Structure 1
């Protein structure tokens, strides 16, 4: 029996004045109560109770230990109450990281709504187009686009995005449309680091990976810059599907080479506590997960991802 349980038994005997009273209060059999006290006294090497046929009372050592037990048990009760309160009313500072454009379009509105719902949580939102290291940088939750490695951080699948090739209609009118990825060697290209290798773009042909060398006129590290360059007819660019969604909708960019699109890229929510044990983390994870899973830009192959995750039995750990 653990030490806290033995302390509870001892205090219950003293408070109730008998082993029977302690047994009823704790839902234990009388022999189990007796064994717990015997174990406690043996471990301490001291007699805690003076027992007669008519009464049970603490010894001098028992009185001293009784006070210590009450303090310990009260502290545990208070700590558990505090944790329970935090679960229902999250408090503290929550640090969230997300890619710049994805964060602006999809995460920032959810963070704003979360802040309204949980006014006792202060939020530090970091939008960067690089991989943040949660433990080292003190990040509680991160949105990660890309395949994941192994670590002690946990991932919740949100969906997938496609990596697609885009061009402005005016560029097509001036230079013609490539019908095969290898024809990109004859076109101006804009490479976005983080989505593509600046000098080698990835496609798929007949189920096999196809790497194509390009000669970019421009290399940028932010998606909005690549989008603007493509819209301004600087060249053809390769982006994640959500990054060009507004421009595709308004007709300023068109997808090309769609028959050769690479495999989908997973989007995950990462956090450092497996079941969101911290109230602020658990609340945020629950708040955003289902909303993001319903996002039309992330829905592709989502059912497959969920099935794989359920088969694996738990959240997959990642770095």
Structure 2
């Protein structure tokens, strides 16, 4: 059986969680997919799936091979697009991911505009406050805030955001504003769990340990922001998260002179995705959005 076809079958079974669903996705029959996976496993000399009457799951070897198979198929698709000179009109499904609040505020409006202008395009968005594995999870493009780990992925910087310490006017009226970093130890602090959650806060010249312990720990940025606006304490958030509250006077920024350098915002993708019209249009639109929002 054709090697490329068996790779497509393998990725489809892994993505869809079953042989019948994979067959529907690629327009084949379940027996043909079963034969294709068997041929691939025989060629590789290893089992790629655990099979039962109720479910199909990747083996450890299959999980490792999945990322490689997706990369091979993506590279082939990229080579074909380059040979054709690329398609002018975006089409098919674009799979992207971004942090929850940033995605809702800044990515979703861009996606909505792209969908309104391009009927052949579909988008699947994963808004989640963790860095997903782009290759392994089949992501076309990811928005990342903060320093990037070294990798083979292509990264395009589209803007920056700043750390901001904020509290409500009511809280500051009761407790006063901290004049120094060390004075934070005498205040009620709010921490949200997630990628930026830590026992230390970064400042321009030093890291300050959150001691003796935060007064409130919440699991979402929205909750941390609401708690700060309610006067519970001081929160350490990012500029795009709190700017509306600061502009409206519900929150006041603290220790501005002590804040660390801005954090970069990147769009990250495999090099093979660079030729996708949808990726190119999203990059251009996000740059415009960041400049318009004062984040460029």
TM-score computed with the length of structure 1 as normaliser: 0.63
> 1:183 is matched with which residue?
183
Deviations 1:47-72 (A, max 9, x none): xxxxxxxxxxxxxxxxxxxxxxxxxx
8 Å CA contact retained: 1:97, 1:128: yes
> 2:271 is matched with which residue?
273
Residue 94, structure 1, aligned to residue 94, structure 2: yes
CA distance in 1, matches of 2:145, 2:120: 29
Q: Which aligned pairs between 1:1-319 and structure 2 lie closer than 5 A?
A: 83-84=84-85, 87-194=87-194, 196-204=196-204, 208-214=205-211, 215-273=213-271, 276-286=274-284, 288-299=285-296
CA distance in 2, matches of 1:123, 1:82: 25
Q: Relative to structure 1, is the Cα distance of residues 239 and 233 closer, same or farther in structure 2, using a 3 angstrom cutoff? A: same
Aligned residue pairs, count: 216
CA distance in 1, matches of 2:236, 2:200: 11
TM-score computed with the length of structure 2 as normaliser: 0.68
8 Å CA contact retained: 1:276, 1:285: no
Deviations 1:159-212 (A, max 9, x none): 1111010000000011111101111111100012346444221212xxx22323
Q: Which runs of 5+ in 1 are unaligned?
A: 1-78, 300-319
CA distance in 1, matches of 2:282, 2:84: 16
Shift of 1:282: 2.5
> 1:20 is matched with which residue?
none
CA distance in 1, matches of 2:140, 2:286: 15
Secondary structure class of the residue paired with 1:292: helix
Secondary structure class of the residue paired with 1:135: coil
Shift of 1:87: 1.6
8 Å CA contact retained: 1:198, 1:216: no
